[in-house]
Amino acid sequence: MIVAHNLWNVSFLSLLEFQAVILSPPALLIFSLSSWISLRHLWKWNPYDEIKRHLFQIFLLTFLGLLLLAQWLMSSNLTLVAMFKQYGIVLVLVGLAVGIYLLRAQMAEKEYGSSYRAILQDRVERKRAETLFVEDQGPLRTLLDALPEYIFVKDCKSRFVLNNLAHIKELGASSQEELIGKTDFDIFPESLAYQYYTAEQQILQTRQPMINHEEMTIDPDGNPHWLLTSKVPLHDKHGQVIGLVGTSRDITKRKQDEEKLHELCQAVETMQLGVTITDLKGTIIYTNPAEARMHGYPVEELLGKDLGIFAPVGFRRPMTIEQINSMKHLRQSINIKKDGSIFPVRLMSDVIRDVSGKPAAIITTCEDISVYRRTAEKLRQHTRELFLLNKLSDKLQLCEQEEETYHIIVDICKKLFPAESGCLCIQHPATNAMNVVAYWDEQGQEVLSEHWSTELLSRWILEKSSTFCPRQRYASHAECLSVPIVASGEILGLISICLVQEAANNTKQEVETKRIALNRVAKHYALALANLRLREKLRIESIQDPLTGLYNRRYMEESLKREAFRAKRHGSQVGIIMLDVDHFKSFNDLHGHHIGDSVLHELGEFLHTRIRGEDIACRYGGEEFLLILPEASLETARQRAEELRVELQNLKIMAQGKQFHIAISLGVAAFPNHHSDIMQTVDAADMALYRAKALGRNQVAVAT
């Protein structure tokens, strides 16, 4: 505060706005105040009320000033004249100033009512709130600015008095000065600011704090945020409420997590998949409506029950803690309903762990797969038929003579129609006679039979009758299914099956399904038989390597494409093994190419006898070979490669009376694990082969 001791400087500056006050000792005497008033006490002083309380003293001193002026005019003492003049003028001027101020105040109060006094009181209150943070705020300010929480102070009109650095940034301001005196209405949308204002005024009026209140806010970019806010009334040392202090913490992430958790709970409650949570002893502590409905129970009845209530006798087995710790698997089982009926289910279990990582509970999902089982059975049957037909094609391609195809057709028919008997008739190209080359009974026994004329078969085709079957001569079956083997309009034979008497209750759809399957067999066989008759030797030359007896590279590429298509259709895998004879060039240089060819031939025989029927062994080029393993996983292919390596290492190869031993390096890959293009998968196996050689040969390497 600036105190003017010069009597001529007695004045009030900006009394109405009350931004600053300069007082001299006479003025302080007028208002009965100390001559040294600190700034914080002055901010608590309302001059209007103070003047009205000392109105008598003001008039008295003004009158005294007039007397002093009169004495000045009449006195002849020069010292007293100067003193009378000085104090008299001061007192009169003060009285006039106060009178003018009171007059203005009275006029303003009449015109604006209580708002005028509110303006003055408002400014005083704001100053009082600010003063609490003016002194010694250096360390405190540093501490507040270092905190990540939003901290702010407001006066009784909800205007900002203080904000820490985090809150300043949150409000989009660059400094504290930008926020001083502003309200939420200057920053937020009106509706949001009104909510803040209403809540804060209630706190100030009731003097009751608001603790951990969740409220929505909006950042300067317009993005909504959630805050956890606490606001408490702020008191001065006299206990008077002068504002409030607030602290907020951004809980947007928590609210988002809570919303996700709520959505997850809603999803679990409404999903059709059963969900059950049990403790480690198997006691049900939660189950969703789908699980209860699936088993015919109300949810309340299942809570607290043992999980074994879902399992038939013999299916429920207690688990050890080691089994619980390792539990995370998908399995199929049989469950029992409340009414005692059983149904197939697919179960998936996992362990719920506490914060220390120890098992706390087990969550299990349950799906009724009754419909799936029926559909899967039909699909399995259809897939099996396609698989057998594909195997039929593969086997027919391997046949060198026509007679070799007969037992293949009988074998496929016995697998497709295990409960029926049937026969295979083939037209002899030379005699044009229809030979019943094979038939089988209900027990699957294969029997050769007699000849039938082509004329009889042609008559059946013309009449479009499917009830004719040569086997009717040997059995009294009520119904037969027969389809011709026709290629390019030429009748090559006939396939017939006789339905057993127990199958008389077969539906028309089931009979039609069998007829379609039989027709597919006939079409596959017709094409194979025609090609075999017309191009047998040419076919062998085009698909087999003459030296090793294995398939050549051309057939390998065709097989790769075919197996890739089949794997994509069935959702299976194709294992690829690339192998190479170690140090074969040195072997040839040492023993000669004729010995090397003998070794390759023996190696081809070895591979041909060691692979599965559906596997395809090919000579890739030189001393490199490729094995195609349909429906084999990467691990299965690796194990098979290791078995081949060990067996071949112990194999004795005889050539020109000499005994030789060879070793191989193998690279393994799987389609579509390593690449969606099967040729790229072959390249991956080739790269693995080179890595096996680089690591020392005579080993198996898996593609990365």
Q: Hey, what are 329's tokens?
A: 């698997």
How far is the CA of 408 from the CAs of 414, 427, 517, in angstroms?
A: 10, 17, 16
Please calculate the CA angle 230-236-239 and round it to the nearest 5 degrees.
90
Q: What's the burial of 237, exposed, middle or buried (CB within 10 Å: 0-12/13-18/19+)?
A: exposed
Please, which residues have CB within 8 angstroms of residue 146's CB and are 6 or more apart in sequence? none
DSSP string, 366-410: EEE-HHHHHHHHHHHHHHHHHHHHHHHHHHHHH-SSTTHHHHHHH
Cis peptide before 672 (omega within 30 of 0): yes
Q: What 3-state class would DSSP assign to 162?
A: strand
- Residue 110 backbone phi and psi in degrees, to 5: -65, -35
Q: Do residues 280 and 362 make contact, with C-beta atoms less than 8 angstroms apart? A: yes
Measured in residues, the chain has a length of 704
Q: Where are the alpha helices (DSSP H) in 417-552?
A: 454-463, 508-543
292 φψ region: left (φ > 0), alpha (ψ -120 to 50), beta (else): alpha
Q: What 3-state class would DSSP assign to 554?
A: helix
Is 404 assigned a catalytic role?
A: no
Rg of the chain on CA atoms, in Å? 51
Closest C-alpha to 197, from 160, 227, 223: 160
Please, which residues have CB within 8 angstroms of residue 345's CB and are 6 or more apart in sequence? 332, 333, 334, 335, 366, 367, 368, 369
Helix (H) and strand (E) counts for the chain?
22, 23
Which residue's entry shows tokens 């109060």? 109
Q: Do residues 279 and 306 make contact, with C-beta atoms less than 8 angstroms apart? A: no
Q: Hey, what are 669's tokens?
A: 């890959």
CA atoms within 13 Å, Cβ hemisphere of 674: 25
Spatial distance between the Cα atoms of 640 and 140, rounded to a whole number of angstroms? 75
- Residue 44 backbone phi and psi in degrees, to 5: -85, -5
Please calculate the CA angle 249-251-256 and round it to the nearest 5 degrees.
170
Q: Do residues 501 and 478 make contact, with C-beta atoms less than 8 angstroms apart? A: yes
Percent helix / strand / coil, the chain, rounded to 5: 50, 25, 30
> Of 557, 623, 643, 647, which residue is the catalytic one?
623
Q: What 3-state class would DSSP assign to 669?
A: strand
Residues assigned a catalytic role: 623
